Amino acid sequence: MGRRGLTDWMRRLLWAAGGRPEGVREAHLKALDSLPWREPYRARSFVALDCEMTGLDPERDEILSIGAVRIRESRVVLQERFYQVFKPNEAVSPKEVILIHGLGPEEVARGRPLPEALGALLDFLGDSVLVGHFTEVDLAFLNAALVKHRGEPLQLPALDTRLLYRWWWRRQPGAPPGPTDESLEATVAMLDLPRYPAHHAFYDALSAALLFVKLLEEFEAAGQVQFRALFKEMGVY
């Protein structure tokens, strides 16, 4: 199954595991007309986040690493970053770790248990808006861990750069109905952004952050400045 078709499947698995993020999304949709959501999105702090997993089933697989970087006033703040490798409970082959995620087995062996790092991650996120590429996939794993170890999923609004990329694509003269490849690597290449090692949690978070800032410029140039307009276009949670 390709990652494009995973989001609904992941959401169903998360609901079955008890995360039930639909209530959080309903609360966000009800807030669309509230004064804070009518404010310019430039006034908000965002955090681009990426999770790398040992597989694609949140009931069986585990988060291997999480990377995040803050975005403030439409600028990526590299000094404010989060990166943590975790030691999975199940065995992960050294070859898979090295080739896919750019990690060595020693680094994974020194990783922290995920439950111990969740507090530090939540402190870093604060009240920021989450940003990612295929965000629902990452949230399925992260929320499953949060529900298991802390009793509830994230309450933060979450945005998907893939959806904003679709908005940008539709505005291109003569463009086909939709992009054939929505992967982060292909999207970054299409918009001529810096290339970083793929499938590494921090570098993928950084790529998503740069992609978001680039597309946000286009969104603002089209006259869309309110946070609620941004959420309507790319909100997933």
| pLDDT tens string 99-130 | 566 677 777 777 888 888 999 999 999 999 99
Amino acid at 236: V
What are the angstrom distances between the C-alpha of 197 and each of 69, 102, 185, 214, 233?
A: 16, 8, 9, 19, 28
**185-189 average pLDDT score:** 95
CA distance to 47, 83, 102, 108, per residue, from 117 (Å)? 17, 10, 21, 14
Q: What is the pLDDT of residue 101?
A: 66
The three-state (H, E, C) secondary structure of 40-74, written as one string: EHHHCEEEEEEEEECCCCCCCCCEEEEEEEEEECC
Exposed / middle / buried, residue 126 (Cβ in 10 Å: 0-12, 13-18, 19+)? exposed
Share of the chain above pLDDT 70, in %: 84
Mind listing the pLDDT tens digit for each residue in 25-45?
Answer: 888 888 888 888 999 999 899
Eight-state DSSP code of residue 20: -
Cα–Cα distance for residue pair 4/185, rounded to 1 Å: 14
Which residues fall within 8 angstroms of residue 224, CB to CB, at 6 or more apart? 230, 233
Kindly report the pTM of this predicted structure: 0.87
Tens of pLDDT along 138-172? 998 999 899 889 988 899 999 999 999 999 999 99
Q: Which of 117, 14, 23 is nearest to 64 (CA)?
A: 117
Question: What is residue 132's three-state secondary structure?
Answer: strand
Would you state the pLDDT for residue 158? 95
Q: Is the CATH number 3.30.420.10 carried by domain 3-234?
A: yes
Q: How far apart are CA 54 and CA 65, in angstroms?
A: 9
Report angle CA 30, 133, 176 to the nearest 5 degrees: 95
